[in-house]
Structure 1
């Protein structure tokens, strides 16, 4: 006996926004539980929390203004390109304290299917940057600095510090107190790569090339201070303004010398590197001095 199945109704659901976060230090997906919210910019709607999928993607449902995209009318609909336009601001918080909080904007429709930044003309990744409280993973070097303005002593909040070791570049974002930690994998000592007999790797050293960017006037704050929102979000600059819109800073590695836009330190295997400004009278300052938005000499 054959059975005929007749489809009475078809329910098609589309998720207009899903985000997978990546660890900026290890370049691997973030597996820690995060709190992620989306807010329709310049609206009175409350923020919408994301739901974490088993694969680690944070998906948003019932976003304001996106009902027609989430329930497309027909099988030939293309909500990823033809859905309603809207700009959403994303807030990311890590209850575990391993990653810095982040804010960034996402315009919908994305224009492609899949996770945010996985398609389009310039695919990328949604990176989260390490907080200074994050434990340092094995095999990873920690380069720490408390960044400050040499004229006022104020913290260089949200400055960007980049380090290149053995051809690998990693970036850190300073927190509101100017504290930054760059986590970058220790290179394999040359003797081990050449197949030499076992060696004491504690003696291995590498040059570290460093640069900083800082320009408070370039920072943009996408979240307003208002009732119903986490007050910490209003003080959080957008990641785009932090990473892409701050100019190169002049860094005072030595009070008695000309500041530099790039300088070199030495990394010792298995040891943290702490960056400080050397004072003219000898000794070191507790901070590394950076001048905001300086033009390179």
Structure 2
């Protein structure tokens, strides 16, 4: 198995600084070494160049840094597509969740129809028209599904990158009014924390994997570390109580590995400034390893 690590030090998509250091924190947690231990041949391609807020004046603008985010996501999409076409599994390290537009666009170009598992406390289904904050890290899934009026949905290639019927959200527990409406209109499948509590992670993942592998050419996993409970992952910018616990998160990744359907994965929203002894980045490395087949026996 071959994997390619791509860092995206993006912190333009949200308000709290520090998430741009997420790729470094995950690398410091020995991602390369862990992959090597479980038999995955990996290559680190370094970081995509990303503009910093200090170089851009957002005075009077409601939506924050759309041009700069579009540029970085396009560069990411090109590199993801190149690596996937060469037979490697891209591992994208964020950075805020706006980078997912680039990851998904690149996989769409490389593989065709993609299934997406979106593991997140938030649904990230706002658009320019519905966003209460103007923060683009709350919009990438909507744009990837072709919703909203923005050229962000045309990253790398024009149009929809993933169909709602091939998309599953897991661990959601904070949804804005405009996102609720989009969920109802598109029919995208959402497993909230209520569903996880009621059904268990095993059942949720079985149903999710059935959806994302039906009629698709690959599966992309977008893992926001705020999907976990803040007790497990304190180093995130938008923590929400009552999230996925340690073993549930590992089980999700282990079931994904058993299915042998993983085409690409990204881990986002690790903020080492807010972390405790790099524990969130360490957990991110553990979960990536589980997705690649790491087991006790």
Return the TM-score normalized by structure 1: 0.20
Q: Which has the higher helix share?
A: 2
Q: Which has the higher strand share?
A: 1
Q: Report which structure shows greater RCO (CA 8 Å, sep ≥6).
A: 2
Larger radius of gyration: 1
Return the TM-score normalized by structure 2: 0.20
